[in-house]
Structure 1
Amino acid sequence: MSKTRLAQAVAFATLGASLTLPSLAHAEFIKDSKASLELRNFYFNRDLRHTTAAQQSKREEWAQGFIFKAESGFTEGTVGFGLDAYAGLGLKLDSSDERAGTNLLPNSFGDEGPGEYSEASATLKAKISKTVLKVGGLMPKLPSVSANDSRLLPQNFLGGHLNSQEIAGLTIDAGQLKELNQRNSSDFEDLGVNSTGGIRNFKFGSNGNQGNDFNFAGLSYKWQDNLTTSYHYGQLEELYKQHIFGLVHVLPIAEKQSFKTDLRYARTTDDGRSNIDNNYFGAMFTYALSGHSLGLGYQKMSGDTGYAYLDGTDPFLVNYVQIGDFASKDETSWQARYDFNFASIGIPGLTFMTRYISGDNIDRGATLSEGKEWERDMDIGYIVQEGALKNLGVKWRNATVRSDALGELDENRLIVSYTIPLL
């Protein structure tokens, strides 16, 4: 082939920009533009130790991803306009019917799927003063909705997002999401509630866990450099409404020494076609000394159901980790975490993390005893700091899970990434 699927996707995504550039070619539009291409090589192995001989015993795949992102500046004038573009291509390097289903590729157990898949989106943006409106492809990172980027290609949405920072220290967000493209799919689909991966006790009416539009709004205020509070609202029409409160405070103790407090509370109720009813409280306390960080986390679920969030996204939970979210009905969980940044001893770019999370009191119904689970994670990563391979990153992620909700899992991920600046 003389033209790859990635090149085709980029061409479609940026067609509008290329057609309008002659009329938009103002200095700031060009000067502030940037573009990059990330090469992401991903090996994933999950040993499903709890399965029987008749079921899938392992998920193991290897794939290569190409992630193109471009952001323009804004045209001059009272209202500035700009264009962003995203395109992704995933290539299968190794898979089989028996080992499919890692979410690296668009497949499942029994069907290793196609050899490649691609996706693309474009975003029109407008700016007045310090307020920006984006319409089109979005990858929000908010407590109410946070796009997941833990596989080969990132999850993305179609919708509109308004962000305003007119008042010093105050950030306001509002918008609506219409559809989402999952991290292992090339198609946009309706929004839904994540009801898998735990004991939620969710009950839905017609259309199951699929809802309509997702509306969101929120604000955060930085009272001081070391204190921020926030409130965010999310509504998946017909299924749930959610109010999220947060507080982050960093207490300086001495040079290279601090104590961080991260408090979170969420109240989630139904929106007419579900039984969703959940109270969530989470707290994470982290003591940092030079390159060392030691954290202790606590998470508590109460109400008639577990915690609800958009399917496939990253929930705003302190104990949401590599595999589990510890968000089942009535679950209480604790986390102990340790991080070390080797830059403190003269090896910049090398980092290490390990954590252990234990959850219990899971409501598994009247006929079963209370459930328990635990997860142990370890990450070690290195990013080359200089030379010809600058920005080349290598990360190994390991996890072990023993859970009445998820079963018994052993997992390894090896990720090699390299980002090439294009502009």
Structure 2
Amino acid sequence: MYYGMATGVGEGYAVASTDTGHDSSTPDGQGGRFTLGHPEKLIDYAYRADHLMTVTAKALVKAFYGRAASHAYWIGCSLGGLEGLIEARRYPDDYDGIVAGAPPNPIVDFNAEQLWAGWMSSHDPALRVPRDRFRLLNAAVMEACASPVGKKQGFLDEPDRCTFTPQQLLCKKGQTTGCLNANEVQAAQKIYQGPVDPQTHQVIFPGPAKGSEDGFSADGRPFPVALDLFRYAAFQNPDWDWTTLKWDTDVQAATRSLGPLLHVDDNLTPFFRHGGRLLMYIGWNDGHNPEQLAGYYQSLLHNAGPVGADAVRLITIPGMGHCHGGAGCDTFSKLGAIDNWVSHGQPPEQIIAARVENGQVVRTRPLCAWPKVARHDGHGDMDAASSFACVSPDTH
């Protein structure tokens, strides 16, 4: 939180942040316990604290400078990205520009997906897979689908175009190395798929994208943050047994409990009509599959009609993990991008990002507004953004 505030101050902005009224860093790691028996705290956490922070920050700026701030921007990732969407939906006049990174929306569905691999491998120990087997799968995916640039830099460039399947690694008769057994193939396929509602047979939330296999886990244990959301916030029961999770009724019950507070629908038209601009971004190596966020982005555009054409953009970042990290170029000026858009009417069709190691820029690359992708020109420096162009993914 403080690093992000320092960045804003360094660029000349007045900044504010909030802990939403609680400290989740409890010694036992049970960060959601604060919601037990405290519905008002849950409301603070969901949206009220952010709105009141915004109102107070604007009042302080006006009192100190003698005039209102010319623009107000929200920058957040993960839960902060979801909070940005909630702000846009509930309080469309609060911000002129919102940068929402990897927003877990709908959060109940996303947390269900985070529990899926652990639940699956808890119920069927045969589907427990050592990490080295997933690393083997990742190496095969990279070999089959990565471009020369991706192979050199260590990530899959266009995961949504990769057609490699775990079945292709299935051990042949007598083969014992360099392959996956039938249970390992099945586990990987289920993780890619994500949990399914047994009533509707629809995927609740898709699993991670191709190229992120070295982050897979199927060890029979729950993902802690997702577990907290269900047992504390949704069910108000610290003794809730996650292994009894029913993928239809329990997910539906959690959605009824938390959806009104934390789910953002695909109608942000009031925010766009007031002149608001929304930049969403996500890494392809995030546990949150960017294809799901792309679907939400398309729904936003469809519902907003003409007013949305220049009001919302999505950036998908090859090689980046959750909000940052990974092998991709994960560093770019979020404030610069949103301010240029709001102040000068220039939607971010391309943003130059960098990979920084030990304080030094080691390479740069353009980030393209979805659905365009950055393709290398075939001869220039692979570490220089100038060697890439944003093109349609169907370009050959």
> TM-score, normalising length from structure 1?
0.25
Question: Which structure carries more helix by proportion?
Answer: 2
Q: Which has the higher contact order (CA 8 A, sep 6+)?
A: 2
